[in-house]
Amino acid sequence: MNNFLLLLLAITCVLPMLHILALSFSSASAVTAGEVTFWPVDWTTAAYENVFGKKEYLVAFWVSIKRVAIGVTINMLLTILIAYPLSKENSQFPGRTIYAWYFVFTMLFSGGLIPWYMIIKDTGLLDTIWALVIPSAVPIFNVIILLNFFRGLPKELEESAKLDGAGYFTVLWRIFVPLSMPALATLLLFAVVGHWNSWFDGLILSNRTEHYPLQSFLQTIIIKLDPAYLTPKQAELNALMNNRTSRAAQIFVAAFPILIIYPFLQRFFIKGIVLGSVKE
């Protein structure tokens, strides 16, 4: 019975994706007529040609790759360096509770969109890749998961390492980090998905379209397509599409890298998220 219920749940997750994939490869007339279910009708790649037919899309794709590479590296480094000391007892780290609540407070409350924008503008980060990664450099939720994971590791490991002369950084990078790979892989997946799918900050913090990440560029060009700026070839492609086919193509262009990465991290996902979410 459990296998049957899980199979039904898997089907309910897969079928919508198959439907969207079929829409992206179907003609506008077939989609409008409601003829598309789980297999393309009047096969066409017009939606994908529209997505990849201009160099601007490739530039936006490259910006997203840079954002993920830089942003995820900063996220993971700061998450580890913050979670490790916060996982200690107050006797080892005086003032730990104050620091912990300082970080939790920033997760619950913010200054609002306008002060956030003004700070980024006054620091000279607008229209740069750093505006997309520095404001979200410390993911507090990830810090909480990792510090609870660290607290669950045997304290005897750290004590024995210190008896052999190891310092805090040696203990962190040679003992805690290797033992925390399930949790770190889970947080890595969170960070990659968060940076790759983010689009709103790109619209707000970038003044030129060549600085847009992929999601922001697709939001402005595909969803809000202006026929007045179409070339004859693009107008011909646009006639073979409608909003549903272009949005379906957008979903797969955006989701494809995550679909590639996820299978390699999935085996760590459940173990990491469960172990890191239980506090002693």
**pLDDT tens for each residue of 13-72:** 888 888 888 888 888 778 877 788 888 888 888 778 777 777 787 888 899 999 999 999
pLDDT tier at 278 (50, 70, 90 boundaries)?
very low
Q: How far apart are CA 267 and CA 276, in angstroms?
A: 15
pLDDT computed for residue 235 by the predictor: 53
pLDDT classification of 73: cutoffs 50, 70, 90: very high
pLDDT band at 280 (very low <50, low <70, confident <90, very high): very low
160 vs 233, higher pLDDT: 160
Please report the pLDDT score of residue 13 as a whole number.
86
SS3 for the chain, per residue?
A: CHHHHHHHHHHHHHHHHHHHHHHHCCCHHHHHCCCCCCCCCCCCCHHHHHHHCCHHHHHHHHHHHHHHHHHHHHHHHHHHHHHHHHCCCCCCCCCHHHHHHHHHHHHHCCCCHHHHHHHHHHCCCCCCCHHHHCCCCCCHHHHHHHHHHHHCCCHHHHHHHHHCCCCHHHHHHHHHHHHCHHHHHHHHHHHHHHHHHCCHHHHHHCCCHHHCCHHHHHHHHHHCCCHHHCCHHHHHHHHCCCHHHHHHHHHHHHHHHHHHHHHHHHHHHHHHHHHCCCCC
Residue 229: its pLDDT value, please?
Answer: 43
The model's pTM is: 0.77
Q: Are residues 146 and 184 in contact, defined by beta-carbon separation less than 8 angstroms? A: yes
Average pLDDT rounded to a whole number, residues 67-80: 95
- pLDDT for 25 equals 86
Closest CA to 190 of 94, 111, 268, 112: 268
Q: How confident is the model at residue 195 (pLDDT cuts 50, 70, 90)?
A: very high
* Tokens found for residue 246: 């272009």
Most confident of 32-46, 113-127, 243-257: 113-127
Sequence-distant (6+) residues with CB within 8 A of 277 are 145, 148
How many CA within 13 A on the CB side of residue 226? 4
**What integer pLDDT is reported at residue 6 of this predicted model?**
92
Region 115-125: mean pLDDT is 91
For 18-28, the pLDDT digits (tens) are: 888 888 888 87
| Mean pLDDT of all residues belonging to the chain | 82
| Residues above pLDDT 70, as percent of the chain | 86
Better-scored residue on pLDDT, 147 or 47: 147
